[in-house]
Amino acid sequence: MPALVEIDRIRKEFRGETAIDNLTASLAKGRITGLVGPDGAGKTTLIRLINGLLAPTRGTVRVNGFDAARERAKLAGFIGYMPQKFGLYEDLTVLENLRLYARLHDVPENERQRQFEKMLEFTDLARFTGRLAGALSGGMKQKLGLACSLLGRPRLLLLDEPGVGVDPISRRELWSMVNALLDGEMTVLWSTSYLDEAERCESVLLLNESKLLFSGPPAELTGRLQDRVRLLRGIEGDRRKLLARLLDKPGVIDGVIQGSALRLVFAADAPCPSLASLGVERDARELIPVQPRFEDAFIDILGGGPGGRSELAERFEPLPDDGATVAAAHTLVKRYGSFTAADRIDFRIRRGEIFGLLGPNGAGKSTTFKMLCGLLRPTSGSAEINGADLQRSGPEARRQLGYMAQKFSQYDGLNLLQNLRFFAGIYGLTGRDRDREIDGMVDAFHFAPYLKANAGDLPLGIRQRLALACAVMHKPAVLFLDEPTSGVSPVTRREFWTHINALVDKGVTVLITTHFMDEAEYCDRIALVYRGRAIATGTPDELKEQVRSADCPDPSMEDAFIRLVQESDRQEASR
Amino acid sequence: MWNRIKTLIVKELQILLRDRKTRIIIIVPPIMQLVVFSFASTLEVKNISMGVYNRDSGEASRQLVRRFEFSPSFIKLTSLDNPRSLKQFLDAQKGVMVLSIPDDFSRKLAAGEPVKVQLLFDGRRSNVAQIVNGYANRILASFRADTGQAAELQPLLVRNWYNPNLDYMYFTLPCLIGILCMVMGITIPALSVAREREFGTFDQILVSPLSSTEILIGKTVPSLLIGLVQATGMILAAVWCFRLPFTGSGGLLYLSIVIFITSVTGIGLFISALCKTQQQAILGAFAFAVPAVMISGYATPVENMPQWLQYLSLLDPLRYFLVIIRGIFLKAMPFSVALENLLPLVALTVVSLLFAGWFFKKKLD
């Protein structure tokens, strides 16, 4: 297979910081290659180097035989590029956007109509040609962006995280669309921080901290883990405590919660594991081998995940295990004019429970979340935290909750220590109490080398830790997490969940919204929100059970999500 | 409570002062603007070019022309010899005024008969024409007096109190201090809230135990402190660099500045409560500031405006502050007089802060 793009020992530095470190790779012609890695790994930089928007500090990138940076003019029209935030004009309609990009791409007048029709049919946007781009859903915007970057028929398509912030259904659609393009002529580079997408690519480039960790077919990487991944099922008692225990066992390099089971990855040199060798004969019934996933392999390359101990949770006093209702939504309704964003949402969350809100973009999960933590006033119904209505009881009730926002919401202009001091201060910690808590956070999260660094300049993993530290420093009883780990590396995500699991063990209650299906697996219960309504509520296993059928005997969380949403659509249509 | 507010204030100041660029932006532009504006916005007319159409050949008319020539205001005199060139002179805007002297000027003057000259102005520049008219009339009046015309009229001796040399800097500088204080006092809090909204930190604050009153105080005080530093810089520059007399009480001036900045901060916070982004906040701040300057009485006296605008200007904090700061600088305004303007300012402060607080709360919906 000839290579269309050849990357030869490139290095890219920004003001002394290395963004790409000595990377050599090639993209096979007519194939789809996944560019996989967490945020800040260097994916965007690499894409911009390939389309010549950046010049490498050292090394060369050749596209179709031309130097990408120096002979960029010769590659005009050859490359289609869809940046992370595609430049759609929100005030123009779908068709006007297509026309604009056709002109920008110099598509000949007589060919435009044909290409438009093809694109509209291909993206299934034909019904929406007259709609403003700003009024499209997140998934449809991405499709339109894809259509626009395909105008002029490029031979190399560079997609920078087309799936970011897009729900699983739209992600699958985008994926099948791009696959339909692969007719032997088109070469595609698909960048993503979702590791499950990597498995579907013919070939992947795995990037982490500006280094290329792996290049080749994903099966080659997961093949290394054959027979090293097990599912521990039939667990009696607390699976979170069990996971923490197992993670500290030698030979166990990674472990996550998967519904009511645990998924464990063992070291290559570990002896064949059994219930007995793990010492869990009394805690669980069976240990069965399962197919390794790309994420397992990623963790394996990095030398394993973090241990099971949370120094953070050790600072918390255990709360009484009384099963009291800590947070509750009583027929919550939020209307904006004639649009109902949340429609009669009802649930109760017990102490020490992890409750997940799952749903496509714009389905109402953020609205519900915001009403619960008091950021939005419900049109009717009420939200209670510890029995207090946040709208009425105000400041004192809010002291009980910790909040971690979707995007990093600490003060970029302040250094790490100043951020900690600020968040300690607004939660009323003073003097010695404040210093003790701050010292505790610095120890628990190993902040010492970063204290004087601007929060905005911190590595992503540290920023994520800082956000958690600021949310829990005052020892809240309820923790609100709004997509807390989007884009962070799987190691950071595991570290995060180690803390959360340990906090929950102490009786802290967690409400979380998430796009990540494996994050949903950590939840005790999930409410699937769609079109403003909770269309299904239950444990992850219950939801999966609901969609089990002959053609899908072992549904994943994502299968459950997609099928339940589609089922709801069907009911809506038949009504 | 005080500890939480202190935390907010410290954070706000740290954000504003930690970054060198922001530090410079807060201190340097106000002083620079003060210097530039105070030279640029003078209402005085100097260096005037005028034309002379003298049809008289007598000595008296030459004397009159010489008086214009030696006046410091008129620097360039152009002799015109026919009505056509006169018209051309004004058409081409070579000068704003033409002095036309009739051919019987010297004769009538010698005979003791009343004489007249004509002044022609370029009406397109009405403001300048009006001012030049004043200068010209003063010269004509003194000429008349010296030549015995209308000798029974004693010339009036005009004395300008508080600004003996009619130096326009005296008028503009204190006003500029007020205007600049207002612009900064609105934009700093408006931007700081909008920035927190954009970065998502405002949600963090809203879910914390902070009450909306605490948030309001935490946003007002830093803006007030920064405003006081800026005002002090400008006052010192005015007194030391521009030699402006400072005749009144410093304590009274600072009391007024505190009240004034608090009132505009309230307006800035109110604007920020309506905005989602920093861009909207900046536009909102200017949408308020520009008309507020126009109806404050800085450029034109409030009394000259239509009645409804005069009523509207009652809501303009700058209107009251300009009276106070000018009074304190130039005429040692006593407290009792300042109070007349301070009380409405206090009322506006209370109203704007209440409004901002109310909108902060309402924003939750």
User: Tens digit of pLDDT for each residue in B295-342?
Assistant: 998 877 888 888 998 999 999 999 999 999 999 998 888 999 899 999
Q: Let me know if domain B48-146 sits in CATH 3.40.50.300.
A: no
CA distance A223 to chain B (A): 43
The radius of gyration computed from the CA coordinates of chain A, to the nearest angstrom, equals 25
Final residue before a domain boundary, out of A257, A285, A309:
A309
Strand order in the sheet with A17-28: A17-28, A3-14, A58-63, A66-67
Q: What is the mean pLDDT of chain B?
A: 85
A93 with A127, same domain: the answer is yes
Cβ contact A240:A262 at 8 Å: no
Helix (H) or strand (E) holding B346: helix B335-362
Q: Into how many domains does chain A fold?
A: 3
Could you tell me the CA-to-CA distances from A420 to A310, A312, A448, A555, B2 in Å, in that order? 19, 15, 12, 43, 18
Closest CA to A466 of A449, A443, A491, A445: A445
Phi, psi of A339 (to 5 degrees): -90, 130
Instruction: Specify which residues B74 forms β-bridges with.
Output: B48
Nearest residue in B to A422, CA atom: B7
pLDDT category at B265 given cuts 50, 70, 90 is very high
- Dmax of chain A from CA atoms? 76
Most A CBs within 10 Å, among B5, B191, B204, to test the A interface: B204
Best to test chain A binding among B8, B12, B203 (most A CBs inside 10 Å): B203
User: Are residues A271 and A207 part of one domain?
Assistant: no
pLDDT per position as a tens digit, B163-209: 666 667 788 889 889 999 999 899 989 988 888 888 888 888 888 88
More confident of the two residues B127 and A71: A71
Q: Please, which residues have CB within 8 angstroms of residue A73's CB and are 6 or more apart in sequence? A: none
What does the DSSP 8-state code read for residue A457? G
Question: A407 with A449, same domain?
Answer: yes
Considering only CB atoms, A405 lies closest to which of B6, B11, B203, namely B203
Chain A hits for B10, CB-CB cut-off 8 Å, are: 422, 425
In this prediction, residue A456 carries a pLDDT of 84
- Determine the straight-line distance between the first and last CA of chain A, rounded to whole angstroms: 52
- What are the CA-CA distances from residue A507 to residues A431, A470, A567, B211, B362 (Å)? 27, 19, 36, 28, 34
Cα A181 to Cα A127, A174, B72, B167: the distances in Å are 21, 11, 83, 77
State the pLDDT at residue B159: 64
- Is A574 part of a structural domain of the chain? no
Is B200 at the interface with chain A, CB within 8 A? Answer: yes
Give mean pLDDT in consecutive 10-residue pieces for chain A, a chain of 575 residues. Answer: 86 87 91 88 91 91 90 87 83 90 86 86 83 81 88 89 80 86 85 86 91 92 90 89 90 90 89 84 89 90 84 88 89 89 92 91 84 89 87 81 84 91 91 92 92 86 91 93 83 91 93 86 93 92 91 88 90 85
Whether A302 and A433 map to the same domain: the answer is no
Task: Tell me how far apart the alpha carbons of residues A51 and A44 are, in angstroms, rounded to a whole number.
Answer: 11
Query: Is residue A73 included in any domain, yes or no?
Result: yes
Cβ of A405 within 8 Å of Cβ of B204? The answer is yes
- Residue B27, min C-alpha distance to chain A (Å): 19
Q: Cα separation of B187 and A73, whole Å?
A: 45
Which of B11, B15, B364 minimises the CB distance to A377?
A: B364
CA distance A418 to A454: 9
Identify the sign of the CA torsion A429, A433, A438, A441. Answer: negative
Q: Do A418 and B203 touch (CB under 8 A)?
A: no
Same domain as A286, residue A210: no
Among partner residues B3, B15, B200, which is closest to A409 by beta-carbon distance? B200
**Residue A33: beta bridge partners?**
A189, A203
Same-domain check for residues A427 and A445:
yes
Q: Which helix (H) or strand (E) holds A47?
A: helix A43-50
Residues 123-182 of B with CB under 8 A from A: none
Chain A interface mutation, best of B201, B211, B214, B362, highest count of A Cβ atoms under 10 Å: B201
Determine which helix (DSSP H) or strand (DSSP E) holds B292, and give its type and residue range.
helix B278-294
From its phi and psi, is residue B204 left (phi > 0), alpha (psi between -120 and 50) or beta? alpha
Which SS3 state, helix, strand or coil, does residue A514 take?
strand
- Name chain B contacts of A414, Cβ cutoff 8 Å: 11, 14-15, 18
The span from the CA of A309 to the CA of A302, in Å, is 19
- Tell me which residues of chain B, numbers 202 to 221, contact chain A at a CB-CB cutoff of 8 Å: 203-211
- Residue A207 and residue A198: Cα distance in Å, rounded? 12
Domain presence at residue A314: no
Is residue A155 a part of any domain in this protein? yes
| B263: Cα within 13 Å, side-chain hemisphere | 25
Q: Where are the domains of chain B?
A: 2-41+166-362, 48-146
In chain B, residues 9-28 whose CB comes closer than 8 Å to chain A: 10-11, 14-15, 18-19
| Half-sphere exposure at residue A266, Cβ-oriented, CA atoms within 13 angstroms | 22
Count the neighbouring beta carbons within 10 Å of the beta carbon of residue B30.
23
Set of chain A residues whose Cβ sits within 8 Å of the Cβ of B203:
375, 403, 405, 409
What's residue A166's pLDDT?
78
pLDDT of residue B358: 84
CA distance B7 to A394: 19
User: A141: domain range?
Assistant: 3-222
* A418/B208 CB distance under 8 A: no
Q: Which residues of chain B have a CB within 8 Å of the CB of A373? A: 207
* A511 and A386 within one domain: yes
Is A356 within 8 Å of A520 (Cβ atoms)? yes
Interchain contact, A470 vs B204, CB within 8 Å = yes
Order of strands across the sheet that contains A525-530: A401-404, A478-482, A509-514, A354-358, A525-530, A533-538
- Are the C-beta atoms of residues B118 and B87 closer than 8 Å to each other? no
| Nearest-neighbour CA in chain B from A358: distance (Å) | 21
Distances in whole angstroms, Cα of residue B191 to Cα of each of B223, B261, B272 = 11, 16, 7
Q: Are A141 and A184 within one domain?
A: yes
User: Does any CB of chain A come closer than 8 Å to the CB of residue B3?
Assistant: yes
Contact (Cβ atoms closer than 8 angstroms) between residue A77 and residue A154: yes
By the 8 A CB rule, do A409 and A467 touch? yes
Return d(Cα A335, Cα A344) in angstroms, integer: 11
Backbone torsions φ then ψ of A55, nearest 5 degrees: -100, 135
**Angstrom distances, CA of residue B316 to CA of A153, A357, B348, B354:** 60, 49, 8, 16
All residues at 6 or more sequence positions from B361 whose CB lies less than 8 Å from its CB, including other chains: B212
The per-residue pLDDT for B112 is 80
Residues A210 and A230 in one domain: no
What is the Rg, in whole angstroms, of the alpha carbon atoms belonging to chain B?
Answer: 28
Q: Please say whether the dihedral angle defined by the alpha carbons of residues A166, A463, A370 and B206, taken in this order, is positive or negative.
A: negative
Chain B contact set for A396 (CB, 8 A): 209
- The shortest C-alpha distance from A301 to chain B (Å) reads 35
Q: Flag whether A495 is in a domain.
A: yes
Residues A243 and A261 in one domain: yes
Residue whose entry in the numeric block shows the structure tokens 């949600």: B203
d(CA A399, CA A391): 14
Residue B149 clears pLDDT 70, i.e. is over it: no
Residue B227 pairs with which residues in a beta bridge?
Answer: none
CB pairs under 8 A between A and B: 82
Domain co-membership, A63 together with A102: yes
Pick from A414, A427, A470: which is nearest to B18 by CB? A414
Closest CA of chain B from A431, distance in Å? 10
Residues of B with Cβ-Cβ distance to A425 under 8 angstroms: 3-4, 6-8, 10-11
What's A72's DSSP letter? G
Strand intervals (E) in B55-187: 74-80, 97-101, 118-121
Q: Where are the alpha helices (DSSP H) in A209-334?
A: 218-223, 239-247, 275-278, 294-301
Query: Is there a contact between A405 and B200 if contact means CB atoms under 8 Å apart?
Result: yes
Tens-digit pLDDT profile for residues B21-79: 778 877 788 888 888 877 776 666 777 888 999 988 888 888 888 888 888 878 788 88
Secondary structure string (H, E, C) spanning A406-448 = CCCCCCCCCEHHHHHHHHHHHCCCCHHHHHHHHHHHHHHHCCH
Task: Kindly state whether B199 is in contact with chain A, defined as any CB-CB distance less than 8 angstroms.
Answer: yes
Residue B160 has pLDDT above 70, yes or no: no
Question: What residues of chain B lie within 8 A of the CB of A376, using their CB?
Answer: 364-365
Residue that is last in its domain, among A222, A255, A281: A222
* A293 shares its domain with A417: no
Cβ <8 Å between B14 and A418:
yes
Identify all chain B residues contacting A406, using CB atoms and an 8 Å cutoff. 200
Q: Report the range of poorest mean pLDDT among B27-31, B105-109, B213-217, B290-294.
A: B27-31
Length of chain A: 575
Q: Select from A394, A407, A426 the Cβ nearest to the Cβ of B8.
A: A426
A575 within some domain: no
Q: Which of A196, A216, A186 is nearest to A25 (CA)?
A: A216
Which residues on A lie below 8 Å from B5 (Cβ)? none
Tell me which chain A residues have a C-beta less than 8 angstroms from the C-beta of B12: none
Calpha distance B140→B136 (Å, rounded): 6
A194 to chain B, minimum CA–CA distance in Å?
A: 24
| Residue A157 within any structural domain of the chain | yes
- Strand B74-80 versus strand A252-258 pairing type: unpaired
CB-based contact B211 A395, cutoff 8 Å: yes
| Secondary structure letter of residue A532 according to DSSP | T
Judge whether A453 and A417 are in contact, CB under 8 Å: no
* pLDDT for residue B365 is more than 60: no
